């Protein structure tokens, strides 16, 4: 059986502010897409960064029988790959080089230079930007940069992929391209945890949903069960409906923000 990621009474945050407080989640299975959603400031990015070891964390974080919190950054990065929100500001390396760097700095050392170049190009081809391989990354559009960022993250083939808002800078088509890719990666048996703001994307693509509210975990489970009008009101402060579209797919419709009087 493939290992699961277990989060138990995990606390994480910054010196003056604990963002994640004793969070316990159901084991996250490999081969699934888990969407991490919630309003701004709920701690989605912090949780992701804690899982990757970017912010100090206490509690228990295990992958199979491995205690991730006790492992070195290098060891953990062999298993966990995080795609940060923004990347490549002012970087004049070519797109291909940014992926080669990711592969060359892999702790295992690994394959020959020629293999690495080919693997880097394969990763670019996979996100559909092989033709941009020799473009300086700072000359790309925001969306292309996001794709390069994604290619770099998936290139190393880690078992756990953490994506922080991978669709935020993307147009409608690229959002679909990226989410399809996310589903494919999961289908390979890898685990994907992805922060999303668009709940419709979560409804459409995620196997599981983790909803963080202002007081920590609000609910987790299959997206269609987790997202309810009550949840929308409580966590997001909006009045919304979930309705099946003409093809029977549930769609989220937001009607209004609930004002402070609760009207």
Partner 1 sequence: MRVATVDALAGYRRLIQRRMVAVALLAIAILFAFSLDLATGPSGLTLAESLRALISGGDGQAALIVREVRLPIAVTAVLVGAALSLAGAEMQTVLNNPLASPFTLGISSAATFGAALAFVLQLSIPGVPENWVVPANAFVFALGAVLLLQLAAGLRGAGKETLVLFGIALFFTFNAFVAILQFIASEQALQQLVFWTMGSLARATWEKIAILAVVLAVVVPFSLAAAWRMTALRLGEDKARSFGIDVARLRFASLLRISLLTATAVAFVGTIAFVGLVGPHIARLIVGEDHRFYLPASLLSGALIMSLASVASKAIVPGVLIPVGLVTALIGVPFFVILILTRRTGE
Question: Binding residues for partner 1, per CB under 8 A?
Answer: 14-15, 52-54, 72-78, 81-84, 86-94, 96-98, 101-102, 104-107, 117-118, 121, 124-125, 130-131, 133-134, 138, 152-153, 156
CA distance 181 to 186: 9
Closest distance to partner 1 from the beta carbon of 124 (Å): 8
Which helix (H) or strand (E) segment is 81 a member of?
Answer: strand 80-83
CB nearer partner 1, residue 83 or residue 217: 83
225 near 201, Cβ under 8 Å?
Answer: no
Given its phi and psi angles, is residue 38 left (phi above 0), alpha (psi -120 to 50 degrees) or beta? left
CB nearer partner 1, residue 24 or residue 118: 118
Closest distance to partner 1 from the beta carbon of 42 (Å): 20
Closest distance to partner 1 from the beta carbon of 74 (Å): 4
Residue from 85, 104, 84 nearest 96 by CA:
104
Closest distance to partner 1 from the beta carbon of 169 (Å): 15
CB nearer partner 1, residue 48 or residue 209: 48
Burial status of residue 239 (CB atoms within 10 A of its CB: 0-12, 13-18, 19 or more): middle
Strands 208-213 and 33-37: parallel
Closest distance to partner 1 from the beta carbon of 186 (Å): 19
- Sorted by sequence, the CB contacts under 8 Å of residue 147 that are 6+ apart come out as 127, 128, 129, 174, 178
CB nearer partner 1, residue 6 or residue 135: 135
Local structure of 79: helix, strand or coil: helix
Local structure of 175: helix, strand or coil: helix
Closest distance to partner 1 from the beta carbon of 88 (Å): 6
CB nearer partner 1, residue 89 or residue 256: 89
CB nearer partner 1, residue 6 or residue 78: 78
């Amino acid at each position: 059986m493939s290992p699961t990621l277990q989060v138990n009474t995990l606390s994480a945050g910054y010196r003056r502010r604990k963002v994640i407080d004793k969070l316990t989640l159901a084991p996250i299975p490999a081969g699934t897409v888990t969407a991490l959603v919630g309003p701004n400031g709920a701690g989605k990015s912090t949780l992701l960064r804690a899982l990757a070891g970017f912010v100090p964390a206490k509690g228990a974080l295990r992958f199979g029988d491995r205690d991730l919190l006790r492992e070195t950054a290098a060891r953990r990065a062999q298993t966990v790959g995080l795609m940060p929100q923004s990347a490549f500001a002012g970087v004049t390396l070519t797109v291909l080089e940014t992926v080669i760097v990711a592969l060359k700095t892999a702790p295992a050392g690994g394959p020959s230079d020629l293999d690495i170049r080919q693997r880097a190009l394969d990763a670019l081809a996979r996100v559909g930007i092989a033709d941009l391989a020799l473009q300086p990354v700072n000359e790309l559009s925001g969306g292309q940069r996001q794709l390069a960022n994604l290619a770099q993250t998936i290139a190393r083939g880690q078992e756990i992929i953490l994506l922080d808002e991978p669709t935020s800078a993307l147009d409608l088509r690229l959002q679909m391209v990226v989410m399809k890719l996310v589903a494919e990666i999961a289908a390979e048996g890898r685990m994907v945890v992805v922060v999303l703001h668009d709940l419709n994307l979560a409804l459409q693509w995620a196997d599981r949903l983790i909803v963080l509210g202002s007081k920590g975990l609000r609910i987790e489970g299959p997206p269609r069960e987790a997202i309810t009008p009550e949840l929308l009101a409580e966590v997001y402060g909006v009045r919304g409906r979930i309705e099946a579209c003409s093809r029977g797919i549930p769609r989220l419709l937001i009607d209004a923000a609930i004002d402070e009087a609760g009207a």
